[in-house]
Structure 1
Amino acid sequence: MRTRGTELKILYFQHDGHQSNTKRLVYNHLLEPSDIQVVTWGVFFNDTCKSILGSPTNRIYETVMTCQRGVIRAGMIGFRENVANILAVIFIADNEQQDNQQFQQFIVRSTIQGLGISKPSRPTVPTT
């Protein structure tokens, strides 16, 4: 499969570093979550990441951890970036996933096989 990212020969990527307004944690979101509850789990194997994304899992892991450390140093409340969006940007390069949910959290951990990602969200609160 050939993608736009392959055509552009993407060698590396940089995270937006919480500069996007839609990605920030807002106090009102803590009081009134507004979307459905979802949990996603996946493992991205190193060989697959190298062949499809062109980047080893340890590079992706290191980038996410660097971003999380920056959040801690800045005194922010949690790291609310959507890892699926980050990987979609690498994979597709010109078509970010439309689902930019501010409340999503994720847990990234390095595994023997590759990169493990868990992404839970908060439950739905009915609106009137």
Structure 2
Amino acid sequence: MTVLLVAVGAALGAPLRYLVDRAVQARHDTVFPWGTFIVNAAGSGLLGFLAAALPSGHGLTALAGTGFCGALTTYSTFGYETLRLAEEGARMFALLNAAASIAAGLGAAYCGLALAAALTS
């Protein structure tokens, strides 16, 4: 049953990642990968919230945490886009993408944890 919950969550998260990425990138005339940056930060925040709000082994954790957030966020695209920027001579954007993505992901996860703690106390 858990595998099915993960699959359903992933089936929702992956298309949303694609749609958000395309919508965000269409609004920015820059080589910086804003779409990937946004979905990774948002997914990190949501996962931080879920990790603090739900008990381990809860079905919603598999559906929304592992499935949805796992498919919404994308480390492989982050890595590819960062290397592509560096190879194309946009080294400052590559460095900025790496540093800002790590900081935003960790910061968003912390904010999600703090929000869950505040709501459940």
Give TM-score, length-normalised by structure 2: 0.30
